[in-house]
Amino acid sequence: MKEVLWCFMCIKEKTLEENYKEAYELWKERNPTTRINIDAKLLLNKNNYILKAERIIAVEIDEVMK
């Protein structure tokens, strides 16, 4: 979960907008053998679920970006 959030936050910092396709490419580069059947839209859905369901608390989100 933290890896997914990190990828989305990293892309948001670089481009100042949320680009889920770029976040997906970054995630695939960092995790080439993890969940090989996931696509960009599924990764976006996972990110939204993590944030909306508050699966990770704010303190952990701050730690992800360090």
* Predicted confidence band of residue 65 (pLDDT cuts 50, 70, 90): low
40, 21 Cβ separation under 8 angstroms:
yes
Report how far apart, in Å, the C-alpha atoms of 4 and of each of 12, 51, 64 are.
Answer: 13, 11, 10
50, 56 Cβ separation under 8 angstroms:
yes
Q: What is the pLDDT of residues 9-43, one digit of tens each?
A: 888 888 888 889 999 999 999 999 988 899 999 99
Neighbours of 53 (CB within 10 A): 8
Kindly tell me if the per-residue pLDDT of 66 is higher than 70.
no
HSE at residue 52, side-chain half, CA atoms within 13 A, is 6
pLDDT for position 26: 93
